[in-house]
Amino acid sequence: MPSPVDKEVRHWFVTGASGGLGRHLTDHALRHGDRVTATVRRPDALDDLREAHGDRLAVEVLDLTRPAEVEEVVRRTIDAGPVDVVVNNAGYVVVGAAEEMTVEQVRDQVEVLLLAPMLITRAFLAPMRAQGGGRIIQVSSMGGQVGVPTHSAYHAGKWGLEGFTESVSREVADFGIHLTLVEPGGTRTGFASAMRFTDETAPYRDNAVGRTRRSLEALDDDALTGDPAKVAAAVYATTRDPNPPLRLPLGADTYDAVHAALTGRLAALESRKEQAGEVAFDR
């Protein structure tokens, strides 16, 4: 059986395809002759693509905060035939101090950004093993490597997704299954307008949380430099790469922010080298 790299026509499963990067990826795959099962929140969100590409596009309505729905949609997709490329793309961010977030806001962030991709990834591993390989694309962000105030729940989901993916990638490499973390920077996907904000509280109004909140409230998608069509093309190319990277940083802002974060963490680690060795048993 040919690998996903070699197959002429492949079957994709893409979450969060109503707009943004998910829609661009769906459109890009369809334009290259592939088939796509796309999940959306609104049943009419992809009517134009369905009209243009016919039965090569299947649309499933899915709420990722409902694990039973996730399992049912994945089962139906697998029953319809082999899936070569899985893209866990759906996501959003709740902006505010950790203390300001409701339990529901925290739970929904973790369910959408981490639990749903974990469940979807696990569900596709066995069929991918049986067919001799597959590609799983986890859409993280530079927020999977960098931490900023107001994004604590978002970072919990994205950092968790990065750790989960790095571990699973080593578990399944022998089966021809490759996982890639895509880390876009600021991209014009409508993400800015889709941000949700906590109710502001007085203690955080004038500190780093308040200042960050104010800048994000004023953020316009047009100020973001990332072209979602180019991001989609780069991700597509990765799925054709016989040796894909574990992490795919996309955007100069991602590169600069992650480089600074990793350099800072390495320096902090090295400064603790002597202390780290002091906890061993005396010989």
Which candidate in 158, 169, 204, 236 is catalytic?
A: 158
Which candidate in 18, 141, 152, 154 is catalytic?
A: 154
Beta strands 134-139; 177-184: pairing state? parallel
Three-point CA angle 40, 44, 46, nearest 5°:
65
Record the tokens describing residue 177, joined without a space: 């299954």
| All residues at 6 or more sequence positions from 282 whose CB lies less than 8 Å from its CB, including other chains | none
Question: Distance between alpha carbon 236 and the CA centroid of its chain, in Å?
Answer: 15
Q: Is 18 a catalytic residue?
A: no
What is the full DSSP assignment across 122-159? HHHHHHHHHHT-EEEEEE--GGGT---TT-HHHHHHHH
Q: Taking a C-beta distance cutoff of 8 angstroms, is the pair 109, 143 a contact?
A: no
| Torsion angle, alpha carbons of 208, 182, 113, 82, to 10 | 170
**Distance from C-alpha of 107 to C-alpha of 112, rounded to nearest angstrom:** 9
Q: Is 154 a catalytic residue?
A: yes
Tell me how far apart the 2 most distant CA atoms of the chain are, in Å.
74
**Distance from C-alpha of 3 to C-alpha of 177, rounded to nearest angstrom:** 10
Three-point CA angle 154, 158, 162, nearest 5°:
165
Which candidate in 18, 140, 141, 152 is catalytic?
A: 140
Strand segments (E) across 22-172: 35-40, 57-61, 85-88, 94-95, 134-139
Q: Is 255 a catalytic residue?
A: no
Active site members: 140, 154, 158
